[in-house]
Amino acid sequence: MNKSEMIEIAAKDADISKAAAGKALDAIINAVVKAVSKGDTVTLVGFGTFKSAKRAARTGRNPQTGKEIKIAATTVPRFTAGAGFKAAVAGKKAAKKK
């Protein structure tokens, strides 16, 4: 599924125009990107958690020449799926909390 297909589904499910659904999706994506880039964590209960993580410097290998290269340390985005999302993908019902 691509972004335009997601906008169509959101517009239909929420009974709003495609333009409004597109603006809403863009706003949500921008909010997540801004928060994670500042180092904050974004948690959507049942769906998952977006956060930033540090990746250490390491040695890699150029696949064409086989020569070793240094890869610098960096900060990367991470996503951890929530229990409801995992259960849906596995085809199971989400476990209810007691």
The answer to whether the CB of 70 falls within 8 A of the CB of 54 is no
The answer to whether the CB of 46 falls within 8 A of the CB of 83 is yes
Is 1 contained in some domain?
Answer: yes
State the Cα–Cα distance between residues 50 and 84, nearest whole angstrom.
15
Is 98 contained in some domain?
Answer: no
- CATH assignment of the domain containing 75: 4.10.520.10
Is 21 contained in some domain?
Answer: yes
State the Cα–Cα distance between residues 98 and 95, nearest whole angstrom.
9
State the Cα–Cα distance between residues 15 and 21, nearest whole angstrom.
9
Question: Which pLDDT score is estimated for 92?
Answer: 79
Query: What is the three-class DSSP state of 48?
Result: strand
Question: Which pLDDT score is estimated for 86?
Answer: 93
pTM exceeds 0.75 = yes
Same-domain check for residues 45 and 76: yes
Question: Which pLDDT score is estimated for 76?
Answer: 96
Same-domain check for residues 34 and 45: no
Structural domain count of the chain: 2
Same-domain check for residues 56 and 81: yes
Residues of the chain with pLDDT under 70: 94-98
SS3 sequence of 15-47: CCCHHHHHHHHHHHHHHHHHHHHCCCCEEECCC
Q: Nearest CA to 21 among 35, 42, 5?
A: 5
Is 64 contained in some domain?
Answer: yes
Same-domain check for residues 69 and 82: yes
Residue appearing with tokens 């956060």: 51
Same-domain check for residues 4 and 32: yes
68 lies in which domain range? 41-91
